[in-house]
Amino acid sequence: MASLPAIGRSAKPRTTPTIKHNNLHSSHSHQQQSLHHSAQQLPPPQFYYPQVVLVPYGNPYGYQGGVTYYQPVTYPQFQPQQYITPVFSPMPQQYMSYATPDPSLPSIYDESLQYSDVGLKGMKNFRGNNDKFSDKQNDGRLMLANMGVSELHESIKETLEVNANVRVSWLNRMLSKCNNREEFDQALETYKLYQSKIDGTTPETGTLLLKAACRAGIPELALDLLKDTSEVPIFPTLGGIHYLMINFSLKNDTKAVVETYEVTRKRDLKPTQRTFHILIRECVDHDLIDEAMKFAEECKTLEIVPNRVTYNILMNGCRKYQRARDILELRQQMNDYKIEINDTTVKFTVLAHMMLDNTNAALTEFMKYPEIDVKLDEFCNKFFEVTEESNDQKRLVVNLFNALKSNRVELPVEVEQKLATLKADIGEQ
């Protein structure tokens, strides 16, 4: 199996790059001297597509290491295509992890890694007399894109044995291609080898490892890896944790969802509004209202404000178990946080007051429907949604509409017809 193209293979190192002059006019000489004189004041190197480092003129930083980078000339006095030439020169290891990922990989990378317009435009102009070099680079990336997991596994393994300078983006590419247990086992072996040789994986790499396990149908293994990092160091993003939690939720494994969350508490990963939305929804879906309320309390402790959808889900869970006071407490929290309510929020609040036989408060809340921009017939129909659960819910809704009629609220004809059907179901005239 052939080694990966251009993995850490540099020409004989040199610390001072050369500048290729293409039909330069002699009048530019004073500009070159001025530019060289100011090289020491230039800002640190910047990283642009495609995983190359743009180093200021003169290379004043004295890099030692081994990657390929280009010397850009992006100053207004000169045209980049006149001056650019590929430079094979060393660079310190610590800069490598900041190189921009291959754009052909899945969009899992931090959105803060943005390509510079200047860098992109400059790269288009960099080819000039370096077409052969650029073509070789492009051919290498194309070959990588067409490799399967097994080929990538063997190529990375072979290259690591002779040269530890393998880009993490290639490991990421392999992880993103895994779709079954066999491929995942190969990827995990490569991940371990990479860590032992380089120890340079990123949180994005950890996230891709979790996703690969989920696609292979073994999220339990991913959770085991998260719990014990002594054998396989894995530090994913919070987004990766959420992905694993949702995967367990789809499998109705509430215990694993909560265990995955507990892993974040043992690491330096601060939960977010989305974290608690996943947890609370999971608990409510499985009738674990006490646990859901505890997570709501934890939100307050961590100063995290759930969104309206999360509150509505939790209020609906409390309604099913006649926990009216909890509903009203949640509604008060929404008011305190100035969270905009909707018709669902008002519906649960009205029903909570009806559960407590506080009819006047229920009617007052009901009559707020114009404020939330909903029509009377639409709002009334939302209450019939809960009547399919039990006769108790039917009686609650019948009592509400009877109270509305007693207060001279004229109900739409369709609502009157549905109300008559409910009354017949519970034996009320």
Among 240, 269, 298, the domain-final residue is 269
The structure tokens 């961590």 sit at 302
Residue 1 clears pLDDT 70, i.e. is over it: no
Residue 404 lies in a domain: no
Dist. CA 202–CA 233, nearest whole Å: 11
Task: Please say if the pLDDT value at position 159 is more than 70.
Answer: yes
Model confidence at 320: pLDDT above 50: yes
Tokens of 160: 């690591």
How far apart are alpha carbons 418 and 407 in whole angstroms? 19
Give the dihedral of Cα atoms 28, 33, 34, 36; nearest 10 deg: 120
Give the pLDDT band (50/70/90) at residue 331.
very high
CA distance 167 to 4: 10
If pLDDT is split at 50, 70 and 90, which confidence band does 168 have?
confident
Question: Is the same domain home to 33 and 116?
Answer: yes
Residue ending a domain, choose from 91, 107, 142: 142
**In a shared domain, residues 197 and 212:** yes
Q: Are residues 94 and 138 in the same domain?
A: yes
> Lowest-pLDDT range, 36-40, 106-110, 187-191, 233-237?
106-110
- Answer yes or no: is pLDDT of 72 > 80: no
**Band of pLDDT at residue 297, cut at 50, 70 and 90:** very high
Of the listed ranges 6-20, 295-309, 392-406, the one predicted with least confidence: 6-20
* Domain containing residue 124: 1-142
Q: In the predicted model, is pLDDT for residue 89 greater than 60? A: no
Residues 192, 177 share a domain: yes
Q: Does any domain span residue 212?
A: yes
Residue 305 lies in a domain: no
- In-domain check, residue 342: no
Find the angle CA(370)-CA(373)-CA(407) to the nearest 5 degrees.
Answer: 20
In a domain, 185, yes or no: yes
CA distances from 306 to 214, 263, 287, 318 (A): 27, 21, 19, 16
Q: How many CB atoms lie within 10 A of CB 79?
A: 13
Q: Would you place residue 231 in the very low, low, confident or very high pLDDT band (cuts 50, 70, 90)?
A: confident
Q: At a CB cut-off of 8 Å and minimum separation 6, what does 82 contact?
A: 21, 22, 23, 24, 73, 128
Residue 142 has pLDDT above 90, yes or no: no
**Does one domain contain both 224 and 114?**
no
Q: What confidence tier does 209 reach under pLDDT thresholds 50, 70, 90?
A: very high
User: Helix H segments across 95-180?
Assistant: 117-125, 131-146, 149-162, 168-177
- How many Å is the Cα radius of gyration of the chain? 31
Kindly state whether residues 20 and 120 are assigned to the same domain.
yes
As a whole number, mean pLDDT of residues 280-302 equals 96
Q: Indicate the angle between helix axes 289-301 and 273-285, nearest 10 degrees.
A: 170
Q: Which one of 210, 245, 269 terminates a domain?
A: 269
Q: Is 357 left (phi over 0), alpha (psi -120 to 50) or beta?
A: left
Determine, yes or no, domain membership for 7. Answer: yes
Residues 212, 210: Cα–Cα separation, whole Å: 5
Instruction: State the pLDDT confidence band at 7, using cuts at 50, 70 and 90.
Output: very low
Task: Tell me: do 156 and 220 sit in the same domain.
Answer: yes
The answer to whether residues 6 and 128 belong to one domain is yes
Q: What is the mean pLDDT of the chain?
A: 74
Asked whether residue 410 is assigned to any structural domain, the reply reads: no
- Statement to judge: residues 205 and 258 lie in one domain: yes
What's the CA gap between 175 and 327, in Å, rounded? 45
Strand order in 67-70's β-sheet? 46-48, 52-54, 67-70, 86-89
- State the residue for tokens 């491929």: 183
Q: Give the mean model confidence (pLDDT) for residues 372-393.
A: 92
- The number of distinct structural domains making up the chain is 2
- My answer on whether 132 and 37 are in the same domain is yes
- Both tokens of 61, joined, read 């930083």
| Cβ-contact 9, 68 below 8 angstroms | no
Give residue 143's pLDDT: 60
**pLDDT at residue 69 tops 60:** no
Q: What is the pTM of this model?
A: 0.68
pLDDT at 380: 96
pLDDT beyond 90 at 70: no
Question: Is 90 exceeded by the pLDDT of residue 15?
Answer: no
DSSP sequence for 165-199: ---HHHHHHHHHH--SHHHHHHHHHHHHHHHHHT-
- Determine the pLDDT at residue 144: 60
82 and 210 belong to one structural domain? no
308 band by pLDDT with thresholds 50, 70 and 90: very high
Query: Poorest-confidence range of 167-176, 275-284, 343-352?
Result: 167-176
pLDDT of amino acid 367: 95
Is the confidence at residue 278, as pLDDT, over 70?
yes
Q: Is residue 236 part of a domain?
A: yes
pLDDT of residue 48: 34
Structure tokens at 390: 């039990």
Residue type present at position 171: L
Shared domain for 7 and 58, answered yes or no, is yes
CA–CA separation, 248 and 245 (whole Å): 5
